[in-house]
Amino acid sequence: MKKTVLITGAAGGIGKQTALFFAKNGWNVIATMLYLNEAGELINHDNIECYELNVACSESIDKAKSEIVKNHKTIDVVINNAGLGYRSFVELSDDEKIKNIVDVNWLGIVKICRAFIPIFREQNFGQFINITSVAGLVNLPLGNFYHSTKQAVESFSECMAYELKDFNISVATVQFGNAPTNFQKNVTKCDATYIESYNQLMDKISKVLEKKSGKNQNLPNQIVEKLFQIANSPKSSFKRYTIGFDANFMKWFRRILGYRLFNLVIRKTVFGKF
């Protein structure tokens, strides 16, 4: 019997690659996205069904869920992939943009889990795989809002895993670094300002992230293959998976140095001084 996976944010990037990989390997894929006209090649794939779903909107989730359960007797895995970026200084941050990133990156995952827990509980099996980031493990310059949401997902996921254990529902998080997708290009940034120190820092961080993304050409394949492996081998207890050299290096580097030394190294790297 074919297994079924639901993937949010499947219109592009890692979400789309994951949908295609699972479908190619015999899974039924429920690919969700903001608008169906974003589906592209997914719409005509034999093993993929596309649904409009806005993770920030409870009404949209309920509507999509109603349609999904009519077409699928069981769902084995939910991959919470939808996410966005916002790079700004605290002083110059915008209320609406902060609300947007919180609604999508954190509350979106909360709402999707809340909606599909009853299905998993009635089945007495299921798995949530919540995509976070290396940003969920370490703190870096200009990560104020993105990092906060990703670390919130880490905490939320670990806590949720305790309450779902009796229902054979597993929870995992997946962290990775910058992959060569359109994510960095689509990150919302605050406008240039008269504060030159801010402008210089924004330029430095943007260049570092773009350079890193360009180097990690094989990372998307690693991520997709690992997600497939996790989906096929759910663990009974909460599990974190870190994928790629950058994320693993930063995780262990931070753990070995401690936050004070780690902070000094980052300051030296970015600012050229301690």
Q: What is the pLDDT of residues 84-133, one digit of tens each?
A: 989 999 999 999 999 999 999 999 999 999 999 999 999 999 999 999 98
255: left (phi over 0), alpha (psi -120 to 50) or beta: alpha
Q: Distance between CA 183 and CA 150 in Å, rounded? A: 15
Residue 69: both structure tokens together: 């359960």
What is the pLDDT, as a whole number, of residue 204?
83
What is the pLDDT, as a whole number, of residue 195?
92
Burial class of residue 232, CB neighbours in 10 A (0-12, 13-18, 19+): middle
Residue 181: both structure tokens together: 């997708």
Domain count, the chain: 1
Range of the domain at 197: 4-271
What is the pLDDT, as a whole number, of residue 178?
73
Number of Cβ within a 10 Å radius of residue 16: 24
CA angle 51, 57, 62 (to 5 degrees): 55
Give 54-78 pLDDT, tens digit per residue: 999 999 999 999 999 999 999 999 9
Q: Residue 123 maps to which CATH number? A: 3.40.50.720
Residue 195: both structure tokens together: 């504060």
Give 143-161 pLDDT, tens digit per residue: 899 999 999 999 999 999 9
184 pLDDT tier (thresholds 50, 70, 90):
low
Could you tell me if 56 and 45 are in contact, meaning their C-beta atoms sit under 8 angstroms apart? Answer: no
State mean pLDDT over 10-35.
96
Give the pTM: 0.90
Query: Token pair 């806590």 is at which residue?
Result: 159
Residue 85: both structure tokens together: 């970026």
